[in-house]
Structure 1
Amino acid sequence: MQDEQAVPANAGYEWRMVLVTSLAISFLAFDRLASGALGPYLLDGLGLSKTALGSLYSVQAIAVAVMGFVIGRYSDRTGNRRRLLALLLVLAAICALAVLPVNSYAALMLVRLASGMALGAVSPISQSIVTAQSSPARLGRNIGVQTLLMFLVGQVLGPFLLPVLAEKWGWQAGFAASAGPFAVLAIAVLLLLKDGDTAAPSSADQASPPPAAELSPDARRAVALCLGIAACFMIWLVIYSTFLTVFLVERWGVTPPVAGSMLGTLGIAGGVGGFVLPLLSDRFGRKRILLVGMGLAAIAPLATLLWTGPLWGLQLCLAAGWVAVGVLPLYAVVIPGSSVPPGRIAATIALVIGTGEVIGGVGGPIVAGWLADEYGIAAPFWLAFAAIGICVALVSMLPRSVR
């Protein structure tokens, strides 16, 4: 059977596969979130409005969404995930280096657009490899490890390191920092991962992937609801990733490096949530843990908007809310990936992620930036709170088959 063929022959390979794909997604997050950590430097260095700052994330997000679905679907049809992933990582390294001579907003937008095209399919291909090559009993654990590393690199290392690089060598150096890891990971993918029977779809899957009509009503409902959850949760996540540094600098009067260190501690909380929540979902069910996570997520905007105590208290409240990012792999990977046939996993994951990118990652930052320009830097966080409220309603509607 296909599921039996997808189980790796030994635990050593499974851990190696999880580590390499996790690091690929981790440095994807490091690169994608760089505009938030470098936000104060971009506002000053290029004279940007907050709407323009949000648009930097949006232009990359729309490229990620489109190319993620197109290339993810291609990888499903061919089963050629390993070499395709390595090629995309090489292209991402080139795009990261291309920022170094940039000194205008228009040129930066073009480079970030190209970067999004290169990075778009890295996440769905990496996650489809993990989904296809993990033992079913360890899928939650493996996704948890993947998410833990993603937040430790993207939201702990990134916010700490990027302001330091910007202070010493300019914001261009911050964007270029991911080039080396991308190049090393491209080599690691080629040398350490396998295609073969453990991951490749059968010839029948390649010739004619099962149409959506063959999905059960519960499966179609689960995937559709995950699309809505992805869109709203991404609004919450992107608002914090893009505007929290600026909020802390303007509202609380901290320096950008101090704001970056605060975001780094949030990344630790996110890493804990990214490991613990998927692991708990193996035991207590995906839907139940999703609801817990959305409840935690609501803490962050409430604290941002209403807290008047010491800064360390705000940081604790934000950290509690940031544990919620651990639900991301549940609605983006585990639930949709387990609802469709193996030959459609990457395309389905890419569709969910892409929907989040287009609505949350493209529209969210632009609307949030406009709200900040018109009504003040606190306004985007009201939007974040509303988005989480919609997530709670959508999660409650997931079918009973989603345990």
Structure 2
Amino acid sequence: MKPSAIRALWTYENRLLLILFLTFGFVFFDRLALSFLFPFMQDELDLSQTQLGMISSALALTWALSGAIAGAWSDSRAKRKALLVVSVLGFSICSALSGLVGGFISLLVFRALMGLAEGPVLPIAQSLMIQSSTPSRRGLNMGLLQGSSAGLIGAMIGPPVVIGLATHFGWRVAFYVTVIPGMLIALCIWRWVHEHPGGAPAADAKPAPINRWALLRERNVLLCMLLSCFFLTWFIIIISFAPTFLVKYRAFSPGDMGLVMTCLGAAWVFWGFAVPAISDRIGRKTALAIFAPIAAMCPIALIYGDSAVALGAVVFFTYNGLGCFTLFMATVPAETVPPQVLTGALGLIMGAGELVGGFVAPTAAGLAADHYGLPVTMWIAAAGALVAGLLALGLKETAPLVLQRRAAAGVAGAAP
């Protein structure tokens, strides 16, 4: 490729997308590491399924609180870049410190601190990307940033890496090495990411005051908050309990479990951009209503799937919810609320989902698993996706192409 062609590709938009892709992907690499390592550390630390749920809940609670607060703060202070660097360094250190734990309490504390650091990453990354995206690429950019990045790095590359490290060097070493890529990503953000697309704010960049509580009266924002609650229930329960469920209940070997989870990651990567791209054509509301019930079949397949290969194939075609996440967590809000409060709105929607789906649901599922068996966790996950599909029917459509078609049809229908 000629140097001129490389320079044409290496625009700020593409550079920012690559850096934020790596950033959020590594967030999920760290977040999901505990789920993949839990079967290795459960006996040594004498941990129960309830405690696994509580650890996931603690991280989700601090993630929710810090994400909502930091999103509103960054809107008013315009300090997104510095906060993003601090967040990446913070969660990387806390993830590495998880390898020093000696029991449930210390693990709970370190994971809660990690959630506190990770919370601001997604709303800040989303707002930076939306601000720098050309309109024709907005859906693709957001799908790659939130959906495909977490799937590729967190759920596809993550399982074989952390399971391999745990198998050969021990689960503690698997936690320790996570600090290295985090430091490199923080350096890239500091060096190449701008607070504003042009590198400097406009002279009139200070936004007019807007009542942030008015966001709660916006129908799409409220529905996106509810969608976040139920779809996060689906996601967090699957990603928290599936590795242990496959090894402890289904008697899969660690290698077969890793294969299934890698197929899950491959689905995450594909559907992460495919669902948003499809929604550009058929509408955000229609896409959510179609794909949410399909996502509900994924945890049911984990209960009844026979071989690792067959189960991996089914998981690939049904684990599409992370593409839906991009719609209600980023695209629909971005097409609904004013830019001045976008980061705060994204933090509010993410925070609500983490509070209910991330904090309450895993602990409830862990308690249910200890009393009724691990399969109940998968049924709870399936119910979450089904409810999300029903809620999506109440959304106001925001996809530009769909709205243009409707407007054109209305004009044609009104013509004599």
Q: What TM-score, normalized by structure 1, do the two folds share?
A: 0.91
Q: 1:395 aligns with which of 385, 392, 395?
A: 392
Indicate conservation of the 8 Å contact 1:299/1:317, yes or no. no
1:242-265 deviation digits (Å, cap 9, x = unpaired): 111111112321222321221011
Deviating more after overlay: 204-213 vs 248-257: 204-213
For the residues of structure 2 that align with 1:286 and 1:116, how far apart are their CA atoms? 29
Please list the CA deviations of residues 68-119 of structure 1 after superposition, one character each: whole Å capped at 9, or x if unmatched: 1111111111222112211211222222232232222211111111111111
Q: Does 1:332 align with 2:333?
A: no
1:357 to partner: Cα distance: 0.6
> 2:269 — aligned with what?
271
RMSD between aligned alpha carbons?
2.2
Taking the aligned partners of 2:242 and 2:338, their CA distance within structure 1 comes to 39
Cα displacement string for residues 147-204 of structure 1 (whole angstroms, at most 9, x for unaligned residues): 2122100101111111111222322222333211111111101111112364887787
Counterparts of 1:65-84 in structure 2, within 5 Å, are 65-84=64-83
Aligned identity (percent) is 31
Decide which moves more: 161-170 or 270-279: 161-170
The answer to whether the Cα contact below 8 Å between 1:30 and 1:155 also exists between their aligned partners in 2 is yes
Alignment of 1:240-255 (within 5 A): 240-255=238-253
Taking the aligned partners of 1:351 and 1:154, their CA distance within structure 2 comes to: 24
Aligned partner of 1:284 in structure 2 is 282
Partners of 1:50 and 1:372 within 8 A in 2: yes
Tell me what 2:30 maps to: 31
Q: How far did residue 401 of structure 1 move?
A: 4.6
Distance 1:257 1:173, change over 3 A: farther
1:264–1:308 CA distance, 2 compared to 1 (3 A): closer
| Structure 2 stretches lacking a partner, 5+ long | 1-7, 403-416
CA distance in 1, matches of 2:351, 2:111: 17
Q: Aligned partners of 2:305 and 2:293: how far apart in 1?
A: 21
Greater C-alpha radius of gyration: 2
Letter paired with 1:30: F
Equivalent residue number for residue 172 of structure 2: 172
Deviation at 1:26, TM superposition (A): 0.4
In the superposition, relative to structure 1, how do residues 120 and 134 fare at CA in structure 2: closer, same or farther (>3 Å)? same
CA 1:17–1:252 in structure 2 vs 1: closer, same or farther (change >3 Å)?
A: same
Q: Given the superposition, is the C-alpha separation of residues 357 and 216 from structure 1 closer, same or farther in structure 2, using an over 3 Å criterion?
A: closer
Aligned to 2:260: 262
Q: Distance in 2 between matches of 1:56 and 1:216?
A: 30
How do 1:94-105 residues align onto structure 2 when only pairs under 5 Å count? 94-105=93-104
**CA, structure 1 residues 45+265, in 2 after alignment: closer, same or farther (shift >3 Å)?**
same
Quote the residue 1:359 is aligned against. Answer: 356
CA distance in 2, matches of 1:221, 1:359: 19
Residue 323 (structure 1) aligns with: 320
CA shift in 2, pair 1:129/1:308, >3 Å: closer
The separation in 2 between residues aligned to 1:87 and 1:215, in whole angstroms, is 28
In the TM superposition, residue 11 of structure 1 has moved relative to its aligned partner by 6.8
CA distance in 1 between partners of 2:205 and 2:220 (Å): 22
Structure-2-length-normalised TM-score: 0.89
Contact 1:234/1:360 (8 A) holds in 2? yes
**Aligned equivalents of 1:384, 1:131: Cα separation in 2:** 30
Q: Secondary structure at the match of 1:99?
A: helix
The corresponding residue for 1:126 is 125
Deviation by residue 1:332-361 (Cα, 9 ceiling, x = unmatched): 011112211111111111111111111001
Find the residue that maps to 2:98 and give its secondary structure: coil
Q: How far apart are residue 124 of structure 1 and its match?
A: 0.9
Aligned residues: 392
Q: Is the CA contact (8 Å cut-off) linking 2:74 and 2:343 kept in structure 1?
A: yes
Aligned position for 2:223: 225
In structure 1, what is the equivalent of residue 309 of structure 2?
312
AA partner of residue 57 (structure 2): S
- Contact (CA 8 Å) 2:35, 2:239: kept in 1 or not? yes
Runs of 5+ consecutive residues of structure 1 not aligned to the other structure: 1-8
Cα 1:142–1:112, aligned 2, differ >3 Å: closer, same or farther?
A: same
* 365-374 or 82-91, which deviates more: 82-91
